[in-house]
Amino acid sequence: MCHNSGIVEKNNEQQIERYMACGMPSKAVKSVKYTLKKREKKEQQRRDLQREQQFLEELELSSSAVTTPLSLVGHWQILTRTTQPAHLIAVCILAFVLMTVGRDLIDPTTTVATEAAAENAAASATAASTRTATGGVMAALVFLGAFATHFGSQIWMTFVSGLSLYFSLPRHVFGQCQQILFPRYFALNAMLSLTMLVVYAKYFLSGWTTSAGIQMGSLALAAGIEVVVRLYLVPPMLQLMHEKYKIEDAIGSGQEVGSLVQGDLVDCPHYQRIHKGFRRIHMTIAIGNMTVMLTTCLQLYFLASKIRLS
């Protein structure tokens, strides 16, 4: 490329020398120089554009070549290397919850009636010791601790950490931070929601009233959303983000702060497919996170209506 441009420049100089030898005025020579330089600049831009398009086509071919061998892999490897571990973890979580609180969900009044009869028959001191022995105070501590940690992590991750990092760091650096925080955030919140669900059903579910049904439903919804997001949505989102950043790094994009500048990638169909898939999953995760936050605010309302600060 440099050799060809040198030849063109040498030919232009020879042509200008011939014009001057023929007695062409200096103004005309300057005009010819300007025209030749402008023509050479346009030619250079055209060559750069062709080279960039060729590079993007090679990237698209290489990425499709990586995904092609997947169809040749055996069924066993597909079953073990895709979503099967997520299915197993989800089934184990559901089985654990049902085995732990299934009996309390079917007949929630048996334990409560027994405890009420024992408290009526004993003195106040004996009742307090019985409540402590059966884990009532410990259950309340576990429930309140899990709720406080869950609500605090939601507020921090959604409104403080996420926005602060997005508007302070280059976009690719922000994405590298999020790929570490996202799995841990949803894994922690899923464990906390499951803890609240189990503790509430085991120790505080006194009967299937409207209030108890709403609380159980909100806790189950929050735990279900966070488990699904962590197992089934976060991994493909991170994979699409890696593919997206790889293409952007190739053209030097991704260093802008607080915005998205696609540049020439607007016309790349392969990049646009990856970008739209990433945005779709990311939006689904955001909707799930806001839904869980609504259920947490509902739990906060129920706690505020039952706790007396005196």
Confidence at 71, pLDDT banded by 50, 70, 90 = very low
pLDDT band at 44 (very low <50, low <70, confident <90, very high): confident
The pLDDT, as a whole number, for residue 270 is 87
Instruction: Name the band, by pLDDT with cuts 50, 70 and 90, for residue 13.
Output: low
Q: Which residues contact 203 (CB under 8 A, 6 or more apart)?
A: 135, 136, 139, 140, 143
Question: Which pLDDT score is estimated for 223?
Answer: 94
Model confidence band, residue 74 (pLDDT cutoffs 50, 70, 90) = low
Do the beta carbons of residue 199 and residue 223 sit within 8 Å?
Answer: no
Q: What does the pLDDT look like over 204-258, one tens digit per residue?
A: 888 888 888 899 999 999 999 999 999 999 999 999 999 888 888 888 777 888 8
CB 307 within 8 A of CB 162: no
**CA angle in degrees (0–180, nearest 5) for 212-215-218:** 145
Q: What mean pLDDT do residues 157-178 have?
A: 90
The pLDDT score that the predictor gives to residue 67 is: 46
> What per-residue confidence (pLDDT) applies to 133?
42
Cα 235 from Cα 179, distance rounded (Å): 9
Task: Classify residue 185 by burial, with Cβ atoms within 10 Å: 0-12, 13-18, 19+.
Answer: buried
Residue that wins the pLDDT comparison between 302 and 49 = 302
Whether this prediction's pTM lies above 0.75 is answered by no
pLDDT band (50, 70, 90) for residue 92: confident
Q: Is pLDDT above 70 for 3?
A: no
CB 190 within 8 A of CB 226: yes
Residue 22 or 200, more confident: 200
243-276: per-residue pLDDT in tens? 888 888 888 777 888 888 777 777 788 888 988 9
Give first-to-last CA distance, the chain, whole Å.
82
Using CA atoms, how far residue 192 sits from 147, 149, 150, 186, 211, in Å, is: 7, 8, 6, 10, 21
Quote the tokens at residue 259.
Answer: 């915005």
pLDDT at residue 297 in the model: 94
Beta-carbon-side half-sphere exposure of residue 36 (alpha carbons within 13 Å): 16
Contact between residue 166 and residue 174 where contact means Cβ atoms under 8 Å apart: yes
Residue whose C-alpha is closest to residue 231's, from 117, 38, 90, 112: 90
Asked if residues 244 and 271 have their Cβ atoms less than 8 Å apart, the reply is yes
Percentage of the chain beyond pLDDT 70 is 64
Q: Are 223 and 194 in contact (CB under 8 A)?
A: yes
| Beta-carbon contacts of residue 151 (< 8 Å; ≥ 6 apart) | 296, 300
CA distance 177 to 151: 21
Q: What is the C-alpha radius of gyration for the chain, rounded to an integer number of angstroms?
A: 33
What pLDDT score was predicted for residue 211? 86
pLDDT tens profile 280-289: 999 999 999 9
Fill in the DSSP letter of residue 170.
B
Instruction: Find where tokens 């197992």 sit.
Output: 231
Looking at residue 265, its pLDDT comes to 78
Mean pLDDT (the chain, rounded): 76
Q: 111-164, pLDDT tens digit by residue?
A: 444 444 445 544 444 544 444 444 578 888 999 999 999 999 999 999 999 889
How far apart are alpha carbons 153 and 188 in whole angstroms?
9
Question: Helix or strand or coil: residue 257?
Answer: strand
- Between 102 and 127, where is the model more confident? 102
- C-alpha 45/C-alpha 176 separation (Å) is 34
Sequence ranges of the domains in the chain: 1-33, 87-306
Residue type, 6: G
> Tokens representing 61?
């071919």
